[in-house]
């Protein structure tokens, strides 16, 4: 029951965010969805993998310019078929999707 309520609240939050022009949020996970161009470069820092990629609509415009390459937080999962990269903080999707 609690999981259904949480999912419903996250979906409502995502819909509300889109209606008031906030950054989109993945309702299943609660992470912001950011699009990128080009091909990400995956690398290791200690035991974690990170990516260098070119975000185009990252909401943190103070630390991310959206005009140059940025380093992601630690990668949680990747899907090479779709280009989806989930990090600790964000879900990155190729702009073409």
32 φ, ψ (degrees, to nearest 5): -70, 145
CA-angle at 86, arms to 61 and 59, nearest 5°: 15
Instruction: Please determine, for residue 97, whether its predicted confidence score (pLDDT) is greater than 80.
Output: no
Indicate whether 97 and 55 sit together in one domain: yes
At a CB cut-off of 8 Å and minimum separation 6, what does 28 contact? 7, 10
Mean pLDDT of 4-14: 46
Indicate whether 75 and 36 sit together in one domain: yes
Give pLDDT, residue 25: 67
Indicate whether 73 and 93 sit together in one domain: yes
pLDDT band at residue 70 under the 50/70/90 scheme = very high
Indicate whether 51 and 41 sit together in one domain: yes
Indicate whether 44 and 89 sit together in one domain: yes
Domain hosting residue 95, numbered range: 31-97
Indicate whether 14 and 35 sit together in one domain: no
Instruction: Please determine, for residue 75, whether its predicted confidence score (pLDDT) is greater than 90.
Output: yes
Instruction: Please determine, for residue 55, whether its predicted confidence score (pLDDT) is greater than 80.
Output: yes
Number of compact structural domains in the chain: 2
Instruction: Please determine, for residue 38, whether its predicted confidence score (pLDDT) is greater than 50.
Output: yes
* Higher pLDDT, residue 61 or 17: 61
Work out whether the CA dihedral 28, 97, 45, 67 comes out positive or negative.
negative
CA pair distance 74, 78, nearest whole angstrom: 11
Instruction: Please determine, for residue 4, whether its predicted confidence score (pLDDT) is greater than 60.
Output: no
Indicate whether 36 and 21 sit together in one domain: no
Indicate whether 20 and 54 sit together in one domain: no
């Amino acid at each position: 029951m609690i999981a259904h309520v949480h999912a419903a609240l996250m979906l409502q939050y995502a819909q509300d965010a889109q209606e008031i022009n906030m950054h989109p949020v993945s309702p299943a996970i609660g992470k912001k969805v950011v699009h990128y161009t080009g091909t990400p470069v995956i690398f290791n820092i200690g035991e974690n993998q990170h990516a260098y990629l070119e975000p185009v609509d990252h909401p943190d415009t103070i630390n991310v310019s959206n005009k140059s390459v940025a380093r992601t937080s630690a990668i949680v999962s990747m899907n090479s078929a779709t280009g989806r990269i989930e990090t600790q903080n964000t879900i990155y999707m190729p702009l073409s999707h």
